[in-house]
């Protein structure tokens, strides 16, 4: 049990703990790894759903959940915390001794915890997840392109299969970047910059 949220984490949050300030994904993950489970659990419970539509808050909220999803240690800790919250809520619901209002609050809390768990666990298998929290700085389409290129280059280093590498490149151009080009000639100036 997370003592800072007590035995009933579904109770209304009157004083939400502020999310960390805006910073790079790597710095945020480092900061969150250094907090104990009491603080992390409170942040997870207090911000399981956005508390505001304020743009600055939503950036911090999105960054917080990306850090939890992309950093393996934070993902493991958040998973354990959310599982604990779900267990508490499930036991309370099974007891059947709550009034209608508290049962409704418990069900809503249970749903928020499941959604939060899905939010972080879906990152584990997403493109570029193997790169850790550094991948969080890129948007999903960019992560997909970088992931495919990195995997294709690594495979090419193992098998030197130029055709497979070009097939991957062509697929990215057609499917992800919307280009009908089968092969693209890299401009001479760009070739010089990338070779040095």
Q: How far is CA 167 from the centre of its chain?
A: 30
Confidence at residue 44, expressed as pLDDT on a 0 to 100 scale: 97
Total length of the chain: 196
- Judged against a pLDDT cut of 80, whether residue 190 lies above it is answered with no
Residue 99 near residue 172, CB atoms below 8 Å = no
Confidence at residue 6, expressed as pLDDT on a 0 to 100 scale: 81
Tens digit of pLDDT for each residue in 76-113? Answer: 999 999 999 999 999 999 998 889 999 999 999 999 99
Tens digit of pLDDT for each residue in 111-154? Answer: 999 999 999 988 888 888 888 888 888 888 888 888 888 888 99
Angle 72-95/25-33 helices, nearest 10 degrees? Answer: 60
Tell me the mean pLDDT in the region 13-28. 90
Q: Is 160 helix (H, G, I), strand (E, B) or coil?
A: coil
Distance (Å, whole) CA 100 – CA 105: 9
């Amino acid at each position: 049990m997370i003592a800072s949220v007590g035995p009933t984490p579904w109770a209304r949050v009157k004083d939400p703990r502020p999310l960390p300030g805006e910073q790079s994904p790597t710095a945020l993950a480092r900061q969150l790894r250094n907090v104990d489970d009491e603080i992390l659990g409170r942040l997870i419970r207090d911000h399981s759903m956005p508390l505001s539509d304020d743009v600055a808050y939503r950036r911090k909220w999105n960054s917080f959940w990306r850090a939890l999803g992309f950093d393996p240690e934070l993902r493991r800790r958040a998973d354990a915390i959310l599982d604990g919250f779900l267990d508490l809520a499930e036991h309370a619901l099974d007891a059947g001794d709550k009034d209608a209002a508290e049962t409704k609050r418990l069900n809503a809390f249970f749903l928020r915890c499941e959604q939060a768990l899905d939010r972080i666990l879906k990152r584990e298998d997403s493109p570029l997840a193997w790169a850790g929290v550094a991948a969080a700085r890129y948007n999903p389409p960019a992560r997909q392109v970088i992931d495919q290129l990195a995997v294709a280059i690594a495979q090419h280093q193992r098998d030197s299969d130029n055709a497979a590498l070009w097939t991957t490149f062509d697929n990215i151009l057609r499917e992800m970047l919307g280009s009908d080009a089968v092969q693209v000639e890299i401009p001479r100036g760009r070739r010089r910059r990338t070779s040095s």
